[in-house]
């Protein structure tokens, strides 16, 4: 059950007004506290401590309160009965939302023909965890990998392939898809990986090449058979690479992988809607929507639908995607996870979506996050100076885990190594405030001590090991005698549902990750101070502790699973 919610509701009902309920930072003050007396003293014309004295008897009457007292300037501290805590642990969950939302979640946004780099880490990991949290609370989510698959990079890559294989049929005037076997023209993932950087570099120094790429982009978008055929070949290679990363990161598969290419099919339709509403204007050869408002104090450039060369824009395809989602999913909300540099872009798109009565702006949320920097404060780079690739980073952490295992003379299989490494990588991302930039420090990500993913997994593994060794059937018996370590752990467990709800409400995975760490600290203290299977532990105490260990493990497992991690058998 959600202990906070229960206590808060009971307290409000008893007092007849909504009292602010807090969990004191210093736990010696009690399980909960309220500053209601201080908040209300002024309007009541009373001294806070005196007013608190009037509220105190009512609070003490609540049947789950063992002690309530006035402290400091007028806080009322509340301590719960041990029996109540013990029984609460068995109360059924009320976490499923009775009025669930349909939420379209747009994260990932991988690019065709460009390998994933560190910039894709947050959108993937945070997006996946928010998706899991939303589902856990009973909401219906539809995840979209809105892939970058239709712009100039495609033209550049095709132009580059043409320069390598000018004799391939895709580039001949008489190209006929029926006369070739696409499987004869192989492009490996490793080759494709090099094409875009090479093409991009060449485009910068070779104007003719760039113009040719632009021409190819336009022709590709207009249905040129040869370009579309070669595109389909490397699109497949790219989609396979994306799938492999999604599996490596233990993400849920995307419900839909539809990008700009798909959205662009809606553009003619969208253009008609914009024209019907008389929103589209010509400006310097481009077609735009003026979204500026009188009240704007910030720069608000127009929303560009077609650029002056007639090409589809980023804004146009994102707006078309909203139309697509409205038509196909009719979600209550659409969430976008991208980095903070795209705030203005989404503000523009959302304004036009509102002008078209697709969605009010409050139902379109841009959950932006900061950039990941290297230890120098600069964007994180590999040794060769390139933006670090995601596979390289995963490999780096894998190697560090292997080194650690060798050092401690353990023997763990590859699957376990990968699970531990993934925990290190993902937990490090989840625990940072989503909106802030953060420093990706390889030394600390691969240290595995303290507040890290491996610590979380280790706690679960060790606890589970005790549960597995126990040959008695674990049941909830009556409470015998409870130590403060056991009590603290139970109270921590009872904060789980509030935490998940809070993480959802704030769209903040760090709330969940910090809870995971706090819970593990409580578990480890309990584990250390409260022996379970030792011979000198009395049977009834053992039964009680086994039960606590079991529900602690269950709760921790839920948290670990929400973070998209797996618990190894041993480590």
Partner RNA sequence: GCGCCCAUAGCUCAGCUGGAUAGAGCAUCAGAUUUCUAAUCUGCAGGUCAGAGGUUCGAAUCCUCUUGGGCGCACCA
Which residues 27-86 are close enough to bind RNA by CB under 7 A? Answer: 29-30, 33, 35, 38-39, 42, 48, 71-73, 75, 77
| Helix/strand/coil for 559 | helix
**Cβ distance to RNA smaller for residue 180 or 311:** 311
391 lies in the binding site for RNA (CB under 7 A):
no
Q: Which residues are paired to 366 by β-bridges?
A: 336
Q: Which of 212, 224, 426, 432 binds RNA (CB under 7 A)?
A: 432
510 binds RNA (CB under 7 A): yes
- Which position among 65, 291, 412, 552 is part of the footprint of RNA (CB under 7 A)? 412
User: Does 24 contact RNA by CB under 7 A?
Assistant: yes
- Sole binder of RNA in the list 65, 267, 425, 530 (CB under 7 A): 530
433 binds RNA (CB under 7 A): yes
x-marked contacts with RNA along 108-127 as a string, rule CB under 7 A:
---x----------------
Please tell me the distance from the alpha carbon of residue 459 to that of residue 466, in angstroms, as a whole number: 11
Least distance between RNA and beta carbon 544 (Å): 13
Residues 6+ apart with CB under 8 A from 213: 152, 155, 156, 158, 159, 199, 203
In the region spanning residues 323 to 362, those forming contacts with RNA, defined by CB under 7 A, are 340-345
Tell me how far, at minimum, the Cβ of 225 lies from RNA, in Å. Answer: 21
Position among 181, 278, 469, 475 found at the interface with RNA (CB under 7 A)? 469
Q: Is 467 within 8 Å of 546 (Cβ atoms)?
A: yes
Give the footprint of RNA on residues 279-318 (CB under 7 A).
Answer: 283-286, 288, 297-299, 301-302, 304, 307-309, 311, 313-314, 317
The C-alpha atoms of residue 394 and residue 421 are separated, in whole angstroms, by: 7
The answer to whether the CB of 110 falls within 8 A of the CB of 147 is yes
Task: Please give the distance of CA 508 from its chain centroid, rounded to a whole number.
Answer: 8
Q: Are 258 and 311 in contact (CB under 8 A)?
A: no
Question: Residue 437 phi/psi, 5° resolution?
Answer: -65, 150
Piece of the chain touching RNA by CB under 7 A; list 56-64, 136-144, 401-409, 551-559: 401-409
Shorter beta-carbon distance to RNA: residue 77 or 115: 77
Tokens of 290: 């003026």
State the binding string over 180-209 for RNA (x if CB under 7 A, else -): ------------------------------
Nearer to RNA, 24 or 169 (CB): 24
Q: Does 437 bind RNA (CB under 7 A)?
A: yes
Six-digit token string for 18? 């909504």
Kindly give the interhelix angle for 509-529 and 119-136, rounded to the nearest 10 degrees. 70
- Per DSSP, 377 falls in state S
Residue from 211, 328, 506, 561 touching RNA (CB under 7 A): that is 506
Where is 304: in which H helix or E strand? strand 303-306
Residues 444-463 that bind RNA (CB under 7 A): 444, 447-452, 454-455, 458, 461-462
- Give residues with Cβ within 8 angstroms of 439, minimum separation 6: 372, 373, 374, 375, 377
């Amino acid at each position: 059950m959600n202990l906070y919610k229960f206590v808060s509701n009971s307290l409000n009902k008893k007092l007849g007004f909504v009292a602010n309920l807090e969990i004191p930072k210093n736990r010696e003050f009690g399980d909960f506290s309220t500053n209601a007396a201080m908040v209300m003293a002024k309007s009541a014309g009373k001294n806070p401590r005196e007013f608190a004295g009037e509220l105190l008897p009512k609070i003490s009457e609540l049947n789950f309160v063992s002690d309530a007292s006035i402290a400091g300037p007028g806080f009322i501290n509340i301590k719960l009965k041990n029996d109540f805590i013990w029984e609460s642990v068995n109360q059924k969950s009320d976490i499923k939302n009775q009025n669930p939302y349909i939420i379209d979640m747009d994260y990932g946004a991988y690019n065709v023909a460009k390998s994933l780099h560190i910039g894709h880490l947050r959108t993937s990991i945070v997006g996946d965890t928010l998706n899991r949290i939303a589902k856990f609370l009973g909401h219906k989510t539809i995840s979209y990998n809105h892939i970058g698959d239709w712009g100039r990079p495609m033209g550049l890559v095709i132009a580059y392939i043409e320069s390598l294989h000018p004799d391939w049929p895709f580039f001949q005037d008489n190209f006929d898809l029926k006369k070739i076997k696409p499987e004869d023209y192989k492009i490996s993932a490793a080759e494709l990986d090099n094409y875009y950087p090479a093409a991009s570099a060449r485009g910068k120094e070779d104007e003719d090449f760039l113009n040719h790429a632009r021409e190819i982009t336009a022709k590709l978008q207009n249905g040129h058979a040869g370009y579309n055929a070669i595109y389909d070949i490397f699109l497949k290679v790219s989609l396979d690479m994306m799938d492999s990363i999604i599996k490596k990161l233990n993400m849920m598969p995307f419900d839909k992988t539809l990008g700009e290419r798909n959205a662009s099919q809606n553009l003619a339709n969208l253009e008609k809607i914009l024209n019907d509403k008389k929103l589209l204007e010509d400006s310097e050869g481009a077609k735009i929507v003026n979204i500026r408002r009188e009240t704007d104090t910030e720069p608000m450039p127009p929303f560009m639908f077609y650029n002056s060369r007639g090409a589809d824009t980023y804004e146009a395809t994102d707006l078309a995607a909203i139309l697509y989602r409205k038509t196909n999913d009719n979600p209550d909300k659409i969430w976008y996870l991208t980095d903070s540099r795209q705030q203005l872009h989404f503000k523009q798109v959302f304004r036009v979506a509102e002008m078209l009565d697709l969605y009010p702006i409050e139902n379109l949320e841009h959950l932006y996050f900061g950039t990941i920097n290297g230890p120098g404060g600069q964007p994180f780079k590999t040794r060769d100076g390139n933006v670090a690739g995601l596979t390289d980073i995963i490999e780096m952490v894998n190697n560090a885990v292997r080194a650690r295992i060798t050092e401690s003379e353990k023997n763990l299989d590859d699957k376990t190594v990968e699970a531990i490494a993934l925990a290190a990588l993902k937990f490090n991302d989840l625990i940072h405030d989503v909106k802030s930039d953060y420093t990706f420090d390889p030394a600390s990500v691969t240290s595995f001590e303290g507040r890290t993913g491996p610590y979380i997994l280790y706690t679960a593994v060790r606890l589970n090991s005790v549960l597995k060794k126990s040959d008695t059937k674990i049941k909830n018996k009556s409470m015998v005698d409870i130590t403060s370590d056991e009590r603290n752990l139970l109270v921590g467990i009872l904060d789980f549902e509030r935490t998940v709800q809070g993480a959802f409400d704030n769209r903040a995975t760090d709330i969940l990750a910090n809870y995971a760490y706090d819970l593990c600290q409580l578990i480890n203290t309990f584990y250390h101070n409260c022996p379970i299977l030792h011979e000198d532990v009395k049977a009834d105490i053992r039964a009680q502790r086994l039960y606590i260990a079991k529900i602690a493990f269950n709760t921790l497992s839920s948290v670990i699973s929400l973070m998209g991690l797996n618990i190894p058998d041993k480590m």
